């Protein structure tokens, strides 16, 4: 028999695991979080396609075969919860259970299987929690959040990390295969009737929902985009519109030939494209961001009172730096390095304190890897880190800094990512990586005592002040790193012994 239990990661601490079951119109989603307040990335994530709402448009009832699938899915989830001894469980349902004429019996059955109450969300609450979910996962969440589900489409206006307005519309993807020939006209009319939406201009549109995320896979392939991380992806606006217009005119045969889109999403891709175009046009948005976090994260954040200023990148990089010092022989004083580096990068236009701190904390990535492979390994690991509020541009910047911390010379492994950030950012990250290398070399030599050491810029020269006691640095790899830093910054160097 299979072991269905989800273990605690922290075996000797209080059990902080929380589970959430989301009974949607298209799928049932089940997630487990280890400690939601500190990390909103699930340690277990299961999606089960059931299609409860696929007949809503024609019968306004839950599909009978889909009910059987859903009941079996809930029994499976119940087994996992019991085997894992997870007691903190939340169960929510959306449009299909909310509006179907035959949902009351299913609701009672679901509550019996999971041994807890089922919270059937109103459309207003569903939109609010989708907006809160975007706040949880996206660093700059001001704008419109649009969540396209199986049964409904939710819109939420976000400003200053607060939800200002919400709307729920019965235009989920299952409407795409209904017999309503006027569906786009009806959608356009209802969208026009939303006062708060039609009366404002919104710079940013945050799209979430499985079908819209599938569209991004088309974008990645069509435009040969190298970083296949969907969350927090900001496509080129002009190219994204071009793609939506193209896909919205696809024939069903063409859609079926797209092998990298799952079969359960293929029937809805065309509809999702047209709906996205309508929203972009009406909202006058000029920037698109894709979010993985939405309803479930928003629902839990409302319960656990998440601090919206919490930075997952700093939190996780701090954990990794502490882990390095706990496990490795070579102790690194990350705080001392940060203070030394900050004196150089304090007012730098392309090096934020967030990137500075995390780049120092993450220098240990790849420490045990072969020297020739270390830089590329670290670069790839940072690109793929499962973190929220971590944009593609910041991923590439941070990965570039760590790459050049390990290797000052080779650039072949990162060429295809270089164009995704501007030239000034790219060379600033090279300088940051090299500067971190110099700082750590000095730290190992001086027990991280940087007194009388100084690196600064004056009259277009980069000055390296070194105590005479440590003049041997000028004969070491540190001097080579300083030479490289001077070349990257296109400055003359001066060495001052004191």
pLDDT digits (tens, 9 = 90+) for 226-267: 999 999 999 999 999 999 999 999 887 888 788 788 888 888
Query: Is 15 within 8 Å of 9 (Cβ atoms)?
Result: no
Phi first, then psi, for residue 148 (nearest 5°) are: -95, 110
Backbone angles phi, psi at 429, to 5 degrees: -70, -35
Q: In order along the chain (498 residues), what is the average pLDDT of each group of 10 residues?
A: 52 74 96 91 94 89 95 97 93 96 96 97 97 96 96 96 95 80 90 89 94 94 95 97 95 81 86 96 95 97 87 93 86 96 96 97 89 92 95 97 86 88 96 97 95 94 95 90 95 94
Q: What is the pLDDT of residue 441?
A: 95
What is the Cα–Cα distance from 310 to 11, expressed in whole angstroms? 25
Of 150, 278, 148, nearest to 216 by C-alpha is 148
Nearest by Cα to 400 from 386, 385, 384, 380:
380
Going through 174-308 in order, the beta strands assigned E by DSSP cover: 204-208, 287-290
User: How much is the pLDDT for 388?
Assistant: 95
Distance, CA of 51 to CA of 57 (rounded, Å): 13
- pLDDT at residue 408, rounded to an integer: 66
Q: How far apart (Å, rounded) are the C-alpha atoms in residues 72 and 78?
A: 10
How many CB atoms neighbour CB 97 within 10 A?
24
pLDDT at 1 (0 to 100): 38
- pLDDT for 7: 55
Q: What are phi and psi of 85, to 5 degrees?
A: 55, 45
305 is written with which tokens? 């009172």
Give the separation between CA 365 and CA 363, rounded to whole angstroms: 6
Is-contact 152 170, C-beta < 8 A?
yes
In angstroms, rounded to a whole number, what is the distance separating the alpha carbons of residues 81 and 8?
13
Give one word for 11, left, alpha or beta, with left for phi > 0 and alpha for psi -120 to 50. alpha
- Signed CA dihedral, 96, 102, 108, 113: sign only: negative
CA angle 442–446–450, rounded 5-degree value: 70
Q: Where are the alpha helices (DSSP H) in 24-99?
A: 56-59, 64-84, 95-99
């Amino acid at each position: 028999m299979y072991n269905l239990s989800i273990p605690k990661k922290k075996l000797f601490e209080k059990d902080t695991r929380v589970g959430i079951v989301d009974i949607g119109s298209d799928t049932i989603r089940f997630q487990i979080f280890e400690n939601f307040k500190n990390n909103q990335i699930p340690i277990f994530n299961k999606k089960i396609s059931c299609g409860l709402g696929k007949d809503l448009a024609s019968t306004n009832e839950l599909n009978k075969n889909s009910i059987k699938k859903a009941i079996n899915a809930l029994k499976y989830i119940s087994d996992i919860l019991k085997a894992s001894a997870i007691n903190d469980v939340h169960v929510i349902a959306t449009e299909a259970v909310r509006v179907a004429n035959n949902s009351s019996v299913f609701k009672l059955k679901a509550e019996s299987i999971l041994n807890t109450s089922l919270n059937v969300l109103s459309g207003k609450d569903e939109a609010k929690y989708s907006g809160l979910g975007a706040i949880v996962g996206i660093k700059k969440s001001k704008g419109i959040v649009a969540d396209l589900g199986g049964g409904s489409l939710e819109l939420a206006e976000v400003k200053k990390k607060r939800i200002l307005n919400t709307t729920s519309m019965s235009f989920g993807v299952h409407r795409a295969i209904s017999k309503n020939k006027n569906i786009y006209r009806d959608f356009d009319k209802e969208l026009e009737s939303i006062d708060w939406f039609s009366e404002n201009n919104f710079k940013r549109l945050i799209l979430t929902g499985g079908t819209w995320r599938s569209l991004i896979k088309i974008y990645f392939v069509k435009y040969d985009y190298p970083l296949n991380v969907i969350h927090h992806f900001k496509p080129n606006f002009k190219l994204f519109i071009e793609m939506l217009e193209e896909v919205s005119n696809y024939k069903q045969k063409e859609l079926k030939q797209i092998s990298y889109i799952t079969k359960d999403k293929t029937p809805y891709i065309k509809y999702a494209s047209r709906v996205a175009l309508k929203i972009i046009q009406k909202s006058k948005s000029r920037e698109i961001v894709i979010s993985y976090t939405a309803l479930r994260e928003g629902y839990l954040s409302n319960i656990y009172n998440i601090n919206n200023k919490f930075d997952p990148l700093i939190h996780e990089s701090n954990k990794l730096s502490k882990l390095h010092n706990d496990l490795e022989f070579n102790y690194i004083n990350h705080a001392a390095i940060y203070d030394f580096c900050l004196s150089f990068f304090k007012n730098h236009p392309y090096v934020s304190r967030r990137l500075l701190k995390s780049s120092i904390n993450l220098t240990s990535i790849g420490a045990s890897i072969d020297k020739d492979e270390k830089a590329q390994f670290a670069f790839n690991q940072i690109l793929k880190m499962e973190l929220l509020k971590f944009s593609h541009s910041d991923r590439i910047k941070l990965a570039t800094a760590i790459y050049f911390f390990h290797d000052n010379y080779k650039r072949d492994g990162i060429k295809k990512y270089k164009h995704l950030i501007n030239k000034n950012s790219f060379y600033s990250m090279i300088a940051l990586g090299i500067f971190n290398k110099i700082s750590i070399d000095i730290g190992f030599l001086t027990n991280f005592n940087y007194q009388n050491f100084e690196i600064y810029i004056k009259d277009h020269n980069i000055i390296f002040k070194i105590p005479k006691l440590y003049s041997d640095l000028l004969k070491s790899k540190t001097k080579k790193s300083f030479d490289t830093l001077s070349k990257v910054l296109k400055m003359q160097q001066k060495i001052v012994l004191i």
